[in-house]
Amino acid sequence: MKITPLILRLAMLFALALCLAGAHAQTQPERYTKYEYSIPMRDGIRLYTAVYVPKNRPGKHPILLERTGSGAGPYGPDKYRRHRGSPKFVENGYIFADQDVRGAGHSEGVFVHVRPQLLNPLKPQDIDESTDAYDTIDYLVKSVPGNNGRVGLWGISYRGFYAAAGAIHSHPALRAVSPQAPVSDWFLGDDFRHNGALFLMDAARSGSKDPDTGGDPYKFFLERGALSALTNDYFKETTSLWKDLMEHGVYDEYWQARSLPRNMRNIHCAVMTVGGWFDAEDLWGALHTATATAAQNKGIPAMLVMGPWSHGMWAGPGGDRLGDQDFGQPTSTYFQNEIEFPFFDAFLRGSGKRGLPAAQVFETGANRWRAFSQWPPREAKPTDFYLLPGKAIGTTPPTEGDAYDAYVSDPASPVPYQGGVIRGRTDEYMIDDQRFAAARSDVLTYQTAPLASNLTLAGPITADLYVSASTTDADFVVKVIDVFPGDAPGKLAGCQMLARAEVLRAKFRNSYSNPTPLTPLLTEHAAYDLPDIFHTFRKGHRLMVQIQSSWFPLVDRNPQQFMDIYTAKAKDFQTATIHIHRSAAAASHLRVGVLPSK
C-alpha cells in the first residue's frame, strides 16, 4: 500500500502555503551539494534520502533530518529542495536531510498510517518508525561527508509524528528533536476525532477525492442525512482512512496502538514540542505529547513552546495576526530565530546549555511571551467558575435546590460552527465571533459582569457538567469566550471571541473504549477536558461560556440515541430536550488555573 491521497493533499497544501509565503531558507546549488542515498533498514527495505551538504564550509556540521510521508523530492541530483526555518541554519552550515518513509515517494516498503510502535523486546528484523529513524541516523553519521556526528530531527503535523517517534529508543547521535503539532491520537483529540466525536469536514477529506459540497457544506452534509449515506456515495474504496474511521467507532486496539503520547519513552535526547493555541488540527497532539515526554523521561531536557498560531503558522513569515486578532509582533519570525534555532544549535553545535525555559508560551489577550519552569505554571491557582441563576458565572457555588437551564437539540437544525455562509473548515474558527450562536434558543449563554481587573487563565480547562437528556445519547459542546466591550476598536467592538472550545460525545463520558447510554431524564455527571488555554481577559471584558449539543458541520450530528452512529440512517435522528444542572447538589462548572496579575 502506497501513501494515501489524504496525506499527499494535506502535505502539499501545507508546503505550498509556506512556499508562497516565502518561508523557506534557500538550499540552492551555489551553496549546497545534493546527495541521494538509498539507505538500508534492518529488514532490508531501502528508504530514499536526499542530503544537502554545504559547499566551501570548512569544519564539521550537524545534520537536520526530516522524515515525511508526502514526498522528500524534488528527486534527482540537480533538483533542490527549499528548507524552512531560520536563515541561521544555512548561515551556520547545517546539513539538511529529507527522507521518504516506507511506502512513500521513492522509498520501498509498505506505508502504514501512524505506524504502531512496537513493544520491547524487538526481534532483529522488527521495524517501526523509531527503528527506521535509528537505522537512518546510524547510516547518515557514517556516510555523509563533513558531518559532526550530531543529528537533529524535526517535523510538522504528520512529519511531527515521525519526529516524535524517531526520538523513542534514541540513537546516540540524535541530540535534539522537535515534534511540531505532531499527529498523536486520531480518536482522542487530533484531526478527525475529539473525545470520540467525528470532525466531519476534516474526515470527509480522507478519501481519494473530496465530496463536492457546492460551496455550502452545512447544506450538503445536512441533506446527506447520515454518515452511512456519505460512505455509500463517496467512500466505497477499501483503503481509505474513512473506512477505518467508520469501522473503529470506539477507542479500540486500532487507535490505542497508534497513540503517540503513551509510547514517548526511552528518549535520551533533548525534545522541544511546538504547537499553536489556535491549531484546528493538532493542538491536542502538541500538548499531550509534550506532557507525556516530560513525565516519562525524567532528566532529559524537555521544552514546550506554544504560540498564537494556526496549524504550522510558526513556520511561515511574520505571524503578526490571525483573522481579526493582532498580536502586535512577528511571533513566527521570533520563534524561528530566537527559539527554534537556539534550541537545535545548543545541542547540535554547542554544549547543550540551551538557556531556554521548560515552557515558553505566548499569552494571548496580553500579547506577550512568557517563560515558566513548567507547564501548566505552578503559580496558577485552580479555580471553579460556576454556572449561576440569571445565566451568570461566579466563583461561589450555587445554593439552590433543583435548578437547571434547558434547551431543545434538533438534529434537523444543528448549531452551525461559524456564523454566516460556511464555505469550508477555516483556521480562524478557533477565534471566531460567537454572537451568531448566542442568539439561538438551543445555545445556553452564561457570562460574568465586566471584569474589574485582568483575568488570566492558564492550563487545561475541565468542563464539569451535570446533565440530563430525554434521549440515550447527546453531544455537549462547551465554549469559553472573551467578550470585548462595545468601545473596542473596529470589528472587535462587542466581539464574542472564541478562546477555547471542545466537544464530548456523552456515551464516552465514562470510557472511550466501552460507551454507555444516558438514562433518559436521569441527572448524570459528564466531565471532560478542553485543550489548555493561556489567555488574559482584559479589564472591562467579560468571561462567557456557551453550551450546546451540535457544532455542525465541524462535528457530525449525533442521532441522540445510543447506537453505532456510523451505520445510522436518517430516520434514526431524534430531537432531545437537554438540561444543564446548576444546583447545590449538581453544580455544573469549569475548573481552570488562574494566574496572578503581572
Asked, for residue 259, whether it belongs to a domain, the answer is: yes
Amino acid at 581: H
Asked, for residue 212, whether it belongs to a domain, the answer is: no
- The answer on 394 and 349 residing in a single domain is no
CATH number at residue 409: 2.60.120.260
Domain boundary among 354, 372, 390: 372
Number of domains in the chain: 2
Whether 314 shows a pLDDT value over 60: the answer reads: yes
Q: Cell triple for residue 323? A: 483573522
pLDDT tens string 136-179: 999 999 999 999 999 999 999 999 999 999 999 999 999 999 99
Residue 140 backbone phi and psi in degrees, to 5: -60, -45
pLDDT tens string 336-394: 999 999 999 999 998 887 778 999 999 999 999 999 999 999 999 999 999 999 999 99
Alpha-carbon span 18 to 31, nearest angstrom: 21
- The answer on 84 and 164 residing in a single domain is yes
Over the range 408-423, which residues count as b (16 or more CB within 10 Å of their CB) and which as e? ebbbeebbbbbeeebe
- The answer on 388 and 327 residing in a single domain is no
Asked, for residue 436, whether it belongs to a domain, the answer is: yes
In this structure, what DSSP letter does residue 356 have? -
Asked, for residue 223, whether it belongs to a domain, the answer is: no
- The answer on 423 and 357 residing in a single domain is no
pLDDT tens string 502-538: 999 999 999 999 999 999 999 999 999 999 999 999 9
Asked, for residue 39, whether it belongs to a domain, the answer is: yes
Range of lowest pLDDT (27-36, 242-251, 297-306, 473-482): 27-36
- The answer on 141 and 11 residing in a single domain is yes
**Quick one: pLDDT at residue 7?**
53
Q: What is the mean pLDDT of residues 41-51?
A: 98
CA 339, 341, 343: angle at the middle one, nearest 5?
65
CB 72 within 8 A of CB 105: yes
Residue 156, classed as helix, strand or coil, is strand
- The answer on 385 and 368 residing in a single domain is no
Alpha-carbon span 433 to 491, nearest angstrom: 10
DSSP-assigned states of every residue in 506-572: GGGSS-SSS--PPPTT--EEEEEEEEEEEEEE-TT-EEEEEEES--BTTBPPP-SSSS-GGG--GGG
Domain boundary among 372, 399, 417: 372
- Asked if the bond preceding 74 is cis, omega within 30° of 0, the reply is yes
Alpha-carbon span 373 to 357, nearest angstrom: 6
Alpha-carbon span 71 to 105, nearest angstrom: 5
pTM (two decimals): 0.95
- The answer on 574 and 477 residing in a single domain is yes
Domain boundary among 337, 354, 372: 372
- The answer on 476 and 346 residing in a single domain is no
Residue 133 backbone phi and psi in degrees, to 5: -65, -40
Averaged confidence pLDDT in the chain:
94
**Quick one: pLDDT at residue 236?**
81
Asked, for residue 420, whether it belongs to a domain, the answer is: yes
- Cell match 445519547: residue? 473
pLDDT band at 16; cut points 50, 70, 90? very low
Using DSSP bridges, classify how beta strands 524-537 and 455-469 pair: parallel, antiparallel or unpaired: antiparallel
Cα distance between the two ends of the chain: 55
Residue 318, classed as helix, strand or coil, is coil
3-state secondary structure 192-243: CEECCEEEHHHHCCCCCCCCCCCCCHHHHHHHHCCHHHHHHHHCCCCCCHHH
pLDDT tens string 322-351: 999 999 999 999 999 999 999 999 999 988
CATH number at residue 42: 3.40.50.1820
Asked, for residue 209, whether it belongs to a domain, the answer is: no
- The answer on 419 and 301 residing in a single domain is no
Alpha-carbon span 495 to 253, nearest angstrom: 44
Length of the chain, please? 598
Q: Cell triple for residue 120? A: 520491547
pLDDT tens string 287-310: 999 999 999 999 999 999 999 999
- The answer on 429 and 325 residing in a single domain is no
Q: Residue 457: give the domain boundaries.
A: 381-595
- Cell match 464516552: residue? 508
The CA-atom distances, in angstroms, between 311 and each of 17, 108, 217 are 11, 30, 21
The CA-atom distances, in angstroms, between 80 and each of 53, 56, 228, 316 are 12, 18, 45, 20
Helix or strand (DSSP H, E) at 371: strand 368-372
**Quick one: pLDDT at residue 6?**
52
- The answer on 130 and 22 residing in a single domain is yes
Q: Cell triple for residue 391? A: 445565566
- The answer on 538 and 510 residing in a single domain is yes
**Quick one: pLDDT at residue 27?**
63
Asked, for residue 241, whether it belongs to a domain, the answer is: no
